[in-house]
Amino acid sequence: MSGLDALLLDAHMRDDRPALVTLYREAADAVSDQDAEGFYLTHAYVFALELGHPDTQMLHHRLKRAGREE
């Protein structure tokens, strides 16, 4: 398990949603596979929406650019 995976699991266990936005965005940035990137960005976006997080709009734009949202 990578360090980022361990941090994600820990943030889930603690229900630390601000950390989950950041960690899922970092995971999306770290992969080269478009499907994996979309998976991570979607998770970051959902948690950002729930929180009214400042990164919500940026994440939405990234999903649209990746063809994951119309």
Mean pLDDT of successive 10-residue stretches along the chain, which has 70 residues: 90 97 96 94 97 96 88
Take residue 41 and report the two structure tokens written for it: 């960005």
* Three-state SS annotation for the chain: CCHHHHHHHHHHHHCCHHHHHHHHHHHHHHCCCHHHHHHHHHHHHHHHHHHCCCCHHHHHHHHHHCCCCC
CA–CA separation, 64 and 60 (whole Å): 6
The predicted pLDDT at position 2 comes to 81
The predicted pLDDT at position 38 comes to 94
The predicted pLDDT at position 1 comes to 57
Note the Cα 32 to chain centre separation in Å: 15
The predicted pLDDT at position 10 comes to 97
The predicted pLDDT at position 48 comes to 98
The predicted model scores a pTM of 0.92
